[in-house]
Structure 1
Amino acid sequence: MYLRATVHEADGVTLVSLVVRNDADEPRRFRVANRLDGPVWPPRRHGTVAAGWDEAGYEGVLAASGTRPLGYATRGPPADPPAELVWSEPAGASEPEATSAEAIIRSFGDPRPPAAVAIPAYLRPWDERESGDDRP
């Protein structure tokens, strides 16, 4: 496995772009750690930290001959290298999927109601109303 990293600094924030490559013929579990001073600001989806991320880095499984792009931000000044591949090990075929409370919450998706439910019919544009609606 290998790790390639690039860094870009803007307005006191360091953006780290990573590519992890698994050259093995089997899936591998791996850990990437931040080497910059400052906590990791991981990517978020719908306000929830993306799967695999914590305050120090990323942990995941990569398929045989697979590649995974990763990225995060931090307040720490740029350094070389900004991150390191801490360890990797074979990911057993029967290895169970990690199910955490965060993973379960992420699986629910966006918690906001659809706009059609949140906006009363009389406030929606006329062309979005169901036929038969009377004007207010």
Structure 2
Amino acid sequence: MECDTQATAVDGTALVTAVIENPHDEPARFRLRNELDGPVWPPRRRGHPEAGWDENGYEGVLEPGERRALGYAVPAAAQAEPATIAWTEPAEATDSEPTAETAARSFRDPRPPRSVISPPGRRLDEGTTGERP
């Protein structure tokens, strides 16, 4: 695996970018490990960390020749080598198929839209006669 990383400091937080490439002829599973002093703040979707992320880094699969850009934040000072590839291994064909967790992340937000919720302090039946149509 080839990995190019950099970190930028912004108000006491390091913004880390990594570009990982699989130069091999086979799919490969890899682990990107955070090397900064602090927990990983991964990208989020609907309030949940994106699939593959945990407090120490990212784990994923790259197809042959595939390249992936990743980014995260850490409440720490930036340094020259903010992340490294901890390990790689050949990937099984089933590694790239979605899991129940990744499927659940694709569901829409179960809360009703704000437009159908009455404002605080106002009852839904205000302005009606109480009769049913």
- TM-score of Structure 1 vs Structure 2, range by shorter chain: 0.7 to 0.9
Q: Mapping of 1:23-38 within 5 angstroms?
A: 23-38=23-38
**Structure 2 contact 61–96 (Cα < 8 Å) conserved:** no
Matched letter for residue 108 of structure 1? F
1:106 matched residue in structure 2: 105
How many aligned residue pairs are there? 119
Runs of 4+ in 1 over 6 A off after TM superposition: none
**Change beyond 3 A, Cα 1:13–1:95:** closer
Q: Give the 3-state SS of the residue equivalent to 2:93 in structure 1.
A: coil
Query: Taking structure 1 as the reference length, what is the TM-score of the superposition?
Result: 0.77
Q: Compute the RMSD of aligned alpha carbons.
A: 2.1
Superposed, 1:38-53 pairs within 5 Å as: 38-53=38-53
8 Å CA contact retained: 2:6, 2:80? no
1:134 match: none
**Overall identity of the aligned pairs, in %:** 51
Matched, 1:88 2:88: yes
CA drift of 1:78 comes to 1.1
Q: Helix, strand or coil for the counterpart of 1:76?
A: coil
Task: Name the residue aligned to 1:10.
Answer: 10
Q: How does 1:106-125 map to 2 (within 5 A)?
A: 106-114=105-113, 117-118=116-117
Return the offset for 1:68. 0.6
Taking the aligned partners of 1:77 and 1:13, their CA distance within structure 2 comes to 6
CA distance, structure 2, for counterparts of residue 89 and residue 118 of structure 1: 50
User: Aligned to 1:58, what secondary structure does the other structure show?
Assistant: strand
Q: Distance in 1 between matches of 2:7 and 2:86?
A: 19
Task: Measure the CA separation in 2 of the matches of 1:15 and 1:2.
Answer: 20
Could you give the per-residue CA deviations for residues 82-132 of structure 1, whole angstroms, max 9, x where no partner exists?
0000111111224474635x4343132323334554479xxxxxxxxxxxx
Do residues 72 (structure 1) and 72 (structure 2) align? Answer: yes
Give 2:126's aligned residue: none
Q: Which residue of 1 aligns with 2:125?
A: none
Q: Which runs of 5+ in 2 are unaligned?
A: 120-133
2: CA distance, partners of 1:80 / 1:110: 39
Distance 1:94 1:48, change over 3 A: closer
1:53 CA displacement: 0.1
Deviation at 1:39, TM superposition (A): 0.4
